[in-house]
Every structure is written in C-alpha cells, then in structure tokens.
Structure 1
Amino acid sequence: MHINGLLFRLKELADATASPLYLLRGRQPWSVGYYTMKKSCIEAAIDGSAVRTGQPLPDSFGIAIDERVVEYPWLFDRLRRGDRPLGRVLDAGSTLNHEFILDREPLRGADLTIMTLAPEKRCYWYKGYSYVFGDFRKTRFQDQVFDTIISISTLEHVGLDNTILYTNDPAKSEANKYGFVDAIREFKRILAPGGRCLITVPYGRYENFDWFQIFDKEMIQTLIETFSPAFFDLEFFQYGPAGWKRASEMEVIDATAFDPHSGRGRLNDRAACARAISCVQLTA
C-alpha cells in the first residue's frame, strides 16, 4: 500500500474510534467522527438502493450529512439501471476517488479515467484506474472518446477560486460565474453518441462563496441548453432538520447552503453544506 493510503487508513481508524464522541456531541457536521458516520450512511444507501428514480427517500434520511449521501446513491442507481454498458468512463472532478466507492459495482474494475486540477494524496492506479490532471474546459481527449461522464458536485467550482482548496496555481483564482459552460461544451465533445453525462450541483437561490456557487434555475437551463441533449432527466433533493427528501423545483428555488470553511450560511438545521441539489442526466 502507498504510504499516503496507509496514513489515510490510520486517520479513518482514529475517526471511527471517536465516533461515540460525535454522537454525544449531537452529530455536528465535520466534527471528529463525522467522516465515519457519513461513510457508513453512504455505503448503506448505495447497497440498499435508497435513492431510486421517482421514489421517496427513507424517513430521516441523511440527517446532518452533506449532499454526498444523496449524490452517490443517485449515481449508482443511474449507472446500474442503464440500458447500455458503462464503456469508457470519465470522472470529471475526482469525486469517485474513494476506495469504498470504487470497490462497488459497476465501478469496480471499470475502464475509468479520473480527472482533476492537481494530484491528490490518495490514488488507486494499482487497481487499473487512470489519472489525468488539467482543466475540464480544455482537455486533450479525442472527440467522442467516453461513453459515460460523471461530474458530482464539481461544476460549481469551475471558473471560481480553486486556489482555496484544490491547487496552488494562481491562474485558477477566477471569478467567472459561467465558467461551467465551457466545461459542458467539452463534455459534449468528448462524449460518444448515445452516451450519458451524469451531473450534480448545489441548487437554490444563487450565491457565490468564492470557491463554489449555488446554481439557480437559469444556470441549470443554461447547462442543459449548452449540452443540447437528445434526452435529459432532472431531479431535485432538499435538506431540512428531518434529513434529505425528494423535492420539486419550486420547493428548492430559494434553498441556501452552509460553507464549512468560512462558516457562512450556518443555521440550526445541522446542514453540512448544500440544502438542495439538482441531479441531471444528459444523453448525447
């Protein structure tokens, strides 16, 4: 095992050991023990197919857990019920770069390329996955090379200040609200005809947190129109004190978010980040 992988396993063990303290403190997001609870909830939701198209979420689902608890199960539901194989897959954003995600079907052993701005401490090249570093808005991939493109909670960072968390490159400190548009054009170019592009973003009332932004209705429409899909499907989910639930677009039109790095947007609902997300499937 790579040394960074060993260090991460040790951190996981320490966090798991502290999980009783997390519960005693009222399940505060991002506190010690949070990662263990989040991972456990995500694994159970994926394996139990908790997020299924058109079906309500379980009661008290994902209380005090960030949007990944919905996004990952939503993604696996889409991947598993597709009428065509995954083929060549691009993870645009490296959100899948977790062993407990990559080890689950149908991602296990997939022909997967993981792309993000800069190298991360953990990688699983020894399992056959490829890593590429660069800007989604201008890749070096050939036309129509991928059959499936996955971009989970990534487009909200494109065109903003990525030096806060993701890279030291000063050229990536931007303030372009519509930076995601060029990324969508690139996704369309590199996706094979009939291929799927699966995207999630925080949704609600527009707000810019410098390193990420909340997509509003107009931005989602721009995203879809830019891709110009043969078919698309759009779903919304909302967080509240009772957990996550499926929602209509109107129910989340004014949703807000909490920035765990600055503390901005904190309320007493134990939201860990977004209070609503939009999940989009675009078919080329």
Structure 2
Amino acid sequence: MDERVVEYPWLFGRLGKVGKMLDAGSTFNHDFLLQRSPLKGADLTIMTLAPEKRCYWYEGYSYVFGDLRKTLFADGSFDTVASISTIEHIGLDNTMLYTADPNDAESDENGFVPAVKEFKRILKPGGTCFISVPFGKRNNLGWYQVFDLAKIEAIVEAFAPTSYQIDYFGYSKNGWSCGSATSLSEATVYDVHTGTGWSDDLAASSRAIACLQLNA
C-alpha cells in the first residue's frame, strides 16, 4: 500500500476544529474521507490543477481549479491548509497524469517554493499548514521529485513558521514505521510510469515520507 496509509491517519490525528480549510491538491476528494470527522460538513475548499471525475459539491464542498503558486484567495482566508503528496509535483511535468495542457509540462525543481509561500499568505495568523512529500535519496522523476533534507529545509524556510514539527516514516517488507531523516536519507521510490525502483518489498510508490506541521 502506498504512503496514503500513513499520511491520512497522520493528518486526521492532528486535525481538531479545522475552521475554514483548503485541501491544496485534492487529496481528500473521496467520499470515505469527506464523510469522516472533522471533514464531514466542514467549510472545505478543494483546489487542484484541473477538474476530476469525482465531485461532491452537493455535500457543500467548494471546488477551485488553478495553480497553487498563484491562487485567487485573499490574505488570511483559511484556518487550515493541507497539502498531502502534492507539492512534489508543482513545477514539473503534470501532463503525465493530471492535465493535457502543454503549458503544464514544466521542469522547475523549485516550483514548490512559491506554493509554500502562498500557503502562508492565505493562512490566518495562528493557522496551521500540513504538508507531506516523498523523502529520501534526492531524485527528479520528471513528473514528481523526491525531497532530501535540504529540500525539506527549503519548505520550512519558504513558510517561515512560528513553530513546526516534522515526522518521518519509512517503508519496508514489514510495512510502515516511524523513522528519522538520517535513517531514511537513502530511501528510494518506485516509479509507476517507468517501473524504475521496483523491488520484492512491493513498495507501491515512496519508501519514505516527511510530514510537516507548520504553524503560521
């Protein structure tokens, strides 16, 4: 099972009253998640690059499509921003999976930086931003990238939090477990598009992730 099996419980375990919330990347656009507290009935806006087949507008959720590096939201619009397994795609070739627009075939490895700054701008003072990314041995697969410690530090620097916490998780044949930046620094990924990184551990994608809680 891929990293969602860790990311979802990591986030839900930290969410209290979400207030006005942005799902930056549409990772929660599934009925089995939107029906769980505290997302059920929440003032939730889901933003991603292009429309998806799943849509739950009739449940009161809002949908916005566009570039997370330059949203149209006013300063301090949200109490909570969650961007799970999304910013590793920003600035890279999103035509491989998410859109047919050739303008979205980019190659900017630092494209995530303006997105993280945007998350900070649209958060209310005292608000919370949750971000997760693939972690381990630095790699750019064209359609997403693996963050090493230097890139993780770039996220923190771009957001400039009042306080923050980073949790690391690693995958093995025995499943997922807590780890550290040092112990997981050489972790690799399995690229579903090319087959690169396949192993008998049956990793579905990442073999390590970093999960950040950044307080505005």
TM-score band (shorter)? over 0.9
Q: Counterpart of 1:76 in structure 2: which amino acid? A: F
1:92 match: 24
> 1:61 maps to which residue?
none
Choose from 198, 204, 207 the match for 1:266.
198
For residue 86 of structure 1, report the CA deviation from its aligned partner.
1.0
Is the counterpart of residue 125 in structure 1 residue 57 in structure 2?
Answer: yes
| 1:258 CA drift (Å) | 0.2
Among 74, 96, 106, the residue aligned to 2:10: 74
Q: TM-score, normalised by structure 2?
A: 0.99
Q: Report the equivalent of 1:104.
A: 36
**Runs (5+) with no aligned partner, structure 1:** 1-64
Pair 1:198 & 2:134 matched: no
Quote the Cα distance in structure 2 between the aligned partners of 1:79 and 1:69.
Answer: 16
Counterpart selection for 1:250 from 182, 201, 206: 182
1:195-234 equivalences under 5 Å are 195-234=127-166
Gaps in structure 2 of 5+ consecutive residues: none
Q: How does 1:6-45 map to 2 (within 5 A)?
A: none
Deviation at 1:277, TM superposition (A): 0.2
More helix by share: 1
Residue 158 of structure 1 aligns with an amino acid whose one-letter code is I
**TM-score, normalised via structure 1 length:** 0.75
Which of 1 and 2 has greater Rg?
A: 1
Q: CA deviation at 1:279?
A: 0.3
Partners of 2:195 and 2:161 in 1: CA distance = 37
What is the CA distance between 1:195 and its match in structure 2? 0.2
Report the CA distance between 1:261 and its aligned residue.
1.9
- The equivalent of 1:161 in structure 2 is 93
How far 1:260 moved relative to its partner?
1.3
Equivalent pairs, count: 216
Taking only the aligned residue pairs, the percentage that are identical comes to 58
